[in-house]
């Protein structure tokens, strides 16, 4: 097998498509180097004394693990000095991290979830690092949160590293999806899968079933249809998997086909799902689309959503195109049905209202006639 390193791949990609300028290549290489260090720390586990809860909470109010913080620090440190970035944002930090003045400022913005699948850190189940790269807006001087408010379609690169039985890097720069495996002895990322395409024929779904009682009707309907198997309306037997690490669930369905769902539910109307648009949904959506799949929030294409805040949460439906289209259609149908009922109620109200008006006016007229009659002079015959 010819061994193509990450650097060689990126250089040749630039020659082919002209979409990876040197700064972007160097930036991706630095992120990939940081991911090697994180992989090393994760691999050491208890030997590194980094397992367990750190007794701090992140901006989302979730308990941080030692490794969450370590991974965050590794990424910050590795990316600060290279001169390719203007600022970074992380799921683990409240506000953005501009590049300190002592280093040159570059033209890119980097976003990351340093260690996704936190609940699996201490139990030796696959976890990962997700990242997304945006171009800083033209003319930007001091980076602010506002500069990050760009839809996912503006991403120039996205990827994740998965720390599992093998450590792998899955990357897109807008021309397909490629996977690299970490050669641990050599310390090198080697291209092991080119142009990954998500199979159309989905037979797996991933969702946290314990939330079923809170789901909205379109999700309940869709999951019930999948559970009905061959004899149901979808005519297929589906298998279910839930690792509770998005990277692991997405990595599996990228290869097997299927649909991953983390829907919004009825518990808290102000919380549209659990996952974050900027650190999880957008980079995964870019990867999935580049692999021929689809990703929506149930209503619209994920990559078209205009973000309003850095830590914004969003419902996620991603995977094989057919399944994602179906659940999105069910959401649209629910909205349509809701509107129709509203219209019906409205027109019912209107009929009642008009009838009341009519009744009032008839009563008034009748009263006038009666009064007129009463007040009319009575003639003796």
Residue 116 within binding range of ligand AHM, rule CB under 6 A: yes
Residue 116 within binding range of Mg ion, rule CB under 5 A: yes
Residues in region 264-323 near ligand AHM by CB under 6 A: 274
For 305, phi then psi, to 5°, come to -70, 130
Give CA–CA dist 29/78, Å, rounded.
10
Helix (H) or strand (E) holding 144: none
Find the DSSP H helices in 145-291.
Answer: 217-227, 246-256, 282-290
Residues in region 229-248 near ligand AHM by CB under 6 A: 244-246
Residues in region 188-227 near ligand AHM by CB under 6 A: 208
190/275 with CB nearer ligand AHM: 275
Residue 348 within binding range of ligand AHM, rule CB under 6 A: no
At residue 197, the 3 state secondary structure works out as coil
Closest by CA position to 211, among listed 276, 298, 274, 302: 274
* Binding mask of the shown chain, residues 33 to 62, with x at each position contacting ligand AHM by CB under 6 A: -----------------------------x
Rounded least distance, CB 319 to ligand AHM, Å: 13
For 251, phi then psi, to 5°, come to -60, -40
- Candidates 112-120, 219-227, 263-271, 299-307: pick the segment binding Mg ion (CB under 5 A): 112-120
Closest by CA position to 120, among listed 247, 251, 263: 247
The number of beta carbons lying within 10 Å of the beta carbon of residue 171 is 27
Rounded least distance, CB 16 to ligand AHM, Å: 33
Per-residue exposure over 351-369, b if at least 16 CB sit within 10 Å of its own CB, e if not? eeeeeeeeeeeeeeeeeee
Residue 113 within binding range of Mg ion, rule CB under 5 A: yes
For the chain, count helices (H), then strands (E): 7, 15
Name the closest residue to ligand AHM (Cβ): 246
Rounded least distance, CB 91 to Mg ion, Å: 6
Residue 68 within binding range of Mg ion, rule CB under 5 A: no
143/273 with CB nearer ligand AHM: 273
Rounded least distance, CB 286 to ligand AHM, Å: 17
251/274 with CB nearer ligand AHM: 274
- Residue ranges that bind ligand AHM, judged by CB under 6 A: 62, 113, 116-119, 208, 244-246, 262, 274
């Amino acid at each position: 097998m010819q061994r193509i390193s990450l650097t060689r791949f990126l250089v040749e990609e630039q020659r082919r498509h002209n979409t990876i300028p040197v700064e972007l290549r160097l930036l991706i290489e630095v992120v990939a180097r940081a991911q090697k260090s994180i992989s090393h720390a994760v691999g050491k586990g208890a030997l590194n004394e980094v397992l367990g809860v750190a007794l701090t909470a992140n901006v989302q109010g979730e308990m941080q693990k030692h490794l969450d913080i370590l991974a965050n620090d590794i990424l910050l440190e590795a990316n600060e000095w290279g001169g390719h970035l203007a600022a970074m944002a992380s799921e683990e930090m409240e506000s953005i991290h501009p590049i300190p003045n002592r280093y040159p400022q570059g033209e890119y913005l980097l976003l990351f979830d340093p260690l996704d699948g936190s609940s699996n850190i201490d139990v030796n189940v696959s976890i990962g690092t997700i990242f997304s790269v945006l171009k800083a807006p033209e003319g930007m001087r001091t980076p602010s949160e506002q500069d990050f408010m760009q839809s996912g379609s503006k991403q120039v690169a996205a990827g994740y590293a998965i720390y599992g039985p093998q450590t792998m890097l899955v990357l897109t720069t807008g021309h397909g999806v490629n996977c690299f495996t970490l050669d641990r002895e050599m310390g090198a990322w080697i291209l092991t899968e080119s142009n990954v395409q998500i199979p159309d024929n989905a037979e797996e779904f991933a969702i946290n079933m314990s939330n079923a009682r809170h789901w909205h009707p379109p999700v309940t309907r869709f999951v019930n249809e999948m559970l009905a198997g061959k004899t149901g309306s979808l005519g297929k037997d589906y298998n279910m998997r839930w690792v509770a690490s998005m990277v692991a669930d997405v990595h599996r369905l990228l290869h097997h086909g299927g649909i991953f769902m983390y829907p919004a539910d009825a518990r808290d109307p102000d919380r549209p799902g659990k996952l974050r648009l900027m650190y999880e949904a957008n980079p995964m959506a870019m990867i999935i689309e580049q692999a021929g799949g689809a990703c929506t929030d149930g209503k619209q294409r994920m990559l078209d959503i205009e973000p309003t805040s850095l830590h914004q949460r969003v419902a996620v439906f991603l995977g094989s195109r057919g399944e994602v289209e179906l659940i999105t259609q069910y959401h649209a149908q629910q909205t349509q049905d809701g509107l129709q009922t509203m219209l019906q109620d409205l027109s019912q109200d209107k009929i009642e209202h008009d009838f009341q008006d009519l009744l009032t006016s008839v009563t008034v007229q009748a009263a006038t006639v009666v009064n007129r009659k009463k007040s009319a002079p009575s003639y003796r015959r």
